[in-house]
Amino acid sequence: MTEIWVCASEDVHEGGKGIRFPVTAGNDDSTGFVVRYSGVVHGYLNRCAHVPIELDWSPGEFFEGSGLYLMCSTHGAIYEPDTGHCSGGPCKGGRLRVIKVSEKEGKVFWHPDEFVKPVRA
C-alpha cells in the first residue's frame, strides 16, 4: 500500500490544530487534513459535505471551541472527528470523505485511493 508522509506524530495534538496536505480529489486540486481525537489520528478531505468548500477557519483550525467536533467555518456544520459523520447543521446525516491514514514510528502517513490521489505534477 502506498503511503505518503504528512508530518511527525508529535505535530498532531489532541483536539488541536490539524495538519493540511495537498491532494488531487477526482480532477480537482484540493487539500486533505489530519487531526487527533481520542488519541487516534483521523484523515479527511478538506471539503464540507454541504457545499464543497474548505472547512478550516484559518489553515489547520478545524475544531470548534470545545475541541470535541470539527466545524465548517462557513455554514457551521458539525462533524464527529472520529467518523466524519455530520451530526448538526445544513448537512446533517452527510459525512466528510475519509482519507485513510496510518501512524507508525512517530510519523503520520496518508494513503491514496481511487478518488484521492497525490497532487498532480
In the chain, % of residues over pLDDT 70: 98
For residue 1, the model assigns a pLDDT of 67
Amino acid type, 106: G
CA dihedral 80, 81, 82, 84 (to 10 degrees): 60
Q: How many whole angstroms separate alpha carbon 77 and alpha carbon 99?
A: 19
pLDDT in tens, 15-48: 999 999 999 999 999 999 999 999 999 999 999 9
DSSP state of 17: -
Counting every residue written for the chain, the total comes to 121
What is the pTM assigned to this prediction? 0.95
CA dihedral 2, 31, 95, 76 (to 10 degrees): 160
The CATH class of the 4-117 domain is mainly beta
For residue 50, the model assigns a pLDDT of 85
User: For residue 31, what are the β-bridge partners?
Assistant: 22
pLDDT in tens, 59-98: 999 999 888 999 999 888 999 999 999 998 888 789 999 9
Q: Say how far residue 89 (Cα) sits from the centre of its chain.
A: 18
Domain assignments of the chain as residue spans, ordered by start: 4-117
